[in-house]
Amino acid sequence: MNLDAIVPEYVRCFDAYIPSKPDHLLMREYGAPFLHRLNNNENPLGPPPAAARAIAEFPPEAAAVYPSGDSFDLREALGRRMGVSPERILVGNGSCEVISSVIKAFCEPGDNIITADRTFAVYEWVAEFSGIQARLVPLRDYSFDPQGMLDCIDGRTKIIFLCNPNNPTGGWWDEGLLTDFLERAGEERIVVVDEAYREFVEDGAYPDAVALMDRFPNLISFRTFSKMYALAGLRAGYLTGTAGVVEMVRRTSIAYSVNILAQRAALAALADDADHIAATRALVRDGRAFLMTTCDALGLETVGREGNYLMIKVPINDMLMYRRLMKRGMMVRSMTGFRYPGWIRVTLKKIAVMEAFAEALSEEIRSIREGGRSA
């Protein structure tokens, strides 16, 4: 069969993302006695207690029944929480699914999207394997560059993706910067604000994109239960927009894609998140302070104002550092794929894990400076 004849070139040219192997295989391959995953920005506290109970008490017979095809109860609860109609919310199998739905709804080959060159890569990837041009604007001071993005707009620009706070740098726009950008970007295109890490931000100047939708009806917000709510394994993310925009996106979305357990756990998590958010924020604060102090002592530059992660500039190439740390049971995210060669990103976890990581990192840095394995 000649697949080349039937597969579009933009699919042929695209390389599928290869997820990491399961822990037991990685431990065996690297000879690591244990594995701390510090690569995916997961919350080590686990889901809020009510969500944990919902998961533990899930009746197996309920798995035989299709879930609500449009996450009805969850949208009702989210609508109450945000003060918007449930019709303005669309729940997906993680944020990645809603990214795909939005691009399908608004773009066709020949159109383009705009985002940053060093940000969550899925906006770029979905655009590329859909035949849509991704215009990538360099970050400025580790944050999205508003003027750079505005300069890239043309008549075929359909969506602008902002990641606020940005993964992996943690830089973010305040409300003034965001509203100014929205005014200048105009209503002829969609502006998506991905707020996957919004619950980690404690600064009052951080904007609420949903609250701005009355002024800017072309605005869409992405949020997720994967990060703060620690339900990454169940995959539930959602978008909020104005009714007309969401109605369009609904046409390109898959019904029934969010499983019943994810819906129940997310619903329970929402109802029991105050203490959980406070505890997680404290954990992240402590982890960041500890790791920044460690890196300062080692003479390593760090970047990361917000989010549950920190970028560290290492003295050897980041891919080698990844492998060296893997041998010590520490799985970080190498930043070459984010176009930050020479940097790693570390998820902030409990202090005991941070201490173990700091010890592993310190030993590697010492070994490198003494002319160890990399020389």
Partner 1 sequence: MTQHILTRKDALLRIPFTAPFLPLAMEFADKGARGFSLGDRESGALTLAVEELFSFYMSRAARESSLEIALGDEGYRLSLSLSFHAANPDMRAFNLTWRVSHDSEDSLEMLGPMIAARSVSSLRLDFGDNDRVVIRLTMDRDYEPARNVPLPPSGGPGPMISEPSRDDVRHFAAMVNASGAPFIPHFLARPSMAADMLAAGRLHALLAVAGDWITGGVLWAHLTETCIEMYGPYLFRDDPDDNTLTMLLDEAVGRVSRTRARGLLRRQGPLAGYERFFDFLGELQMAGVDGQASRSVYYFRQLREESGGIVYCSPVLAAFLHQQYERLCLPRQVRESAGDRGLARDVSVLAVELDYSRSLAIIRPLCAGRDMAANLEGHLDLLESEGIANFLVEINTGRSEDTAFADALAQCGFAPRLLIPDAGQGDLVIYDHSRGNVRP
Contact residues: partner 1, CB under 8 A = 13, 15, 18, 20-21, 25-26, 29-31, 117, 121, 124, 314-317, 319-320, 322-324, 326-327, 334, 336-342, 368, 373-375
CA distance 89 to 243: 8
At its nearest, how many Å lie between partner 1 and the CB of residue 30?
5
Choose between 144 and 238: whose C-beta lies nearer to partner 1.
Answer: 144
Choose between 245 and 321: whose C-beta lies nearer to partner 1.
Answer: 321
Evaluate the CA torsion angle 246, 251, 254, 255 in order and state its sign.
Answer: positive
At its nearest, how many Å lie between partner 1 and the CB of residue 302?
16
Choose between 26 and 45: whose C-beta lies nearer to partner 1.
Answer: 26
**How many residues are listed for the chain in this entry?**
375
Which residues lie closer than 8 Å to 254 by C-beta, 6 or more apart?
Answer: 92, 93, 97, 101
Task: Report phi then psi at 24, rounded to 5.
Answer: -65, -35
Closest among 164, 130, 106, 123 to 11, alpha carbons compared: 130
Choose between 69 and 337: whose C-beta lies nearer to partner 1.
Answer: 337
Strands (E) across the chain are located at 36-37, 89-92, 112-116, 133-137, 157-163, 190-194, 219-224, 237-240, 302-303, 309-313, 330-331, 333-334, 343-347
CA distances from 352 to 64, 180, 362 (A): 41, 43, 15
Choose between 127 and 262: whose C-beta lies nearer to partner 1.
Answer: 127
At its nearest, how many Å lie between partner 1 and the CB of residue 130?
16
CA distance 237 to 249: 14
CA distance 110 to 9: 14
Choose between 117 and 174: whose C-beta lies nearer to partner 1.
Answer: 117
At its nearest, how many Å lie between partner 1 and the CB of residue 313?
9
At its nearest, how many Å lie between partner 1 and the CB of residue 16?
10
Strand 219-224 relative to strand 237-240, pairing: antiparallel
At its nearest, how many Å lie between partner 1 and the CB of residue 20?
7
At its nearest, how many Å lie between partner 1 and the CB of residue 296?
19
Contact 92, 105 (CB under 8 A): no
At its nearest, how many Å lie between partner 1 and the CB of residue 41?
16
Choose between 238 and 340: whose C-beta lies nearer to partner 1.
Answer: 340
Choose between 147 and 317: whose C-beta lies nearer to partner 1.
Answer: 317
Beta-bridged to residue 115, according to DSSP, are 136
Choose between 43 and 334: whose C-beta lies nearer to partner 1.
Answer: 334
Contact 26, 331 (CB under 8 A): yes
Give the chain's largest Cα–Cα span. 62
Q: Which position has the token pair 């991905």?
A: 194
Closest among 231, 159, 229, 172 to 204, alpha carbons compared: 172
Which residues lie closer than 8 Å to 349 by C-beta, 6 or more apart?
Answer: 36, 38, 44, 283, 287
Contact 164, 134 (CB under 8 A): no
At its nearest, how many Å lie between partner 1 and the CB of residue 250?
31
Choose between 179 and 336: whose C-beta lies nearer to partner 1.
Answer: 336
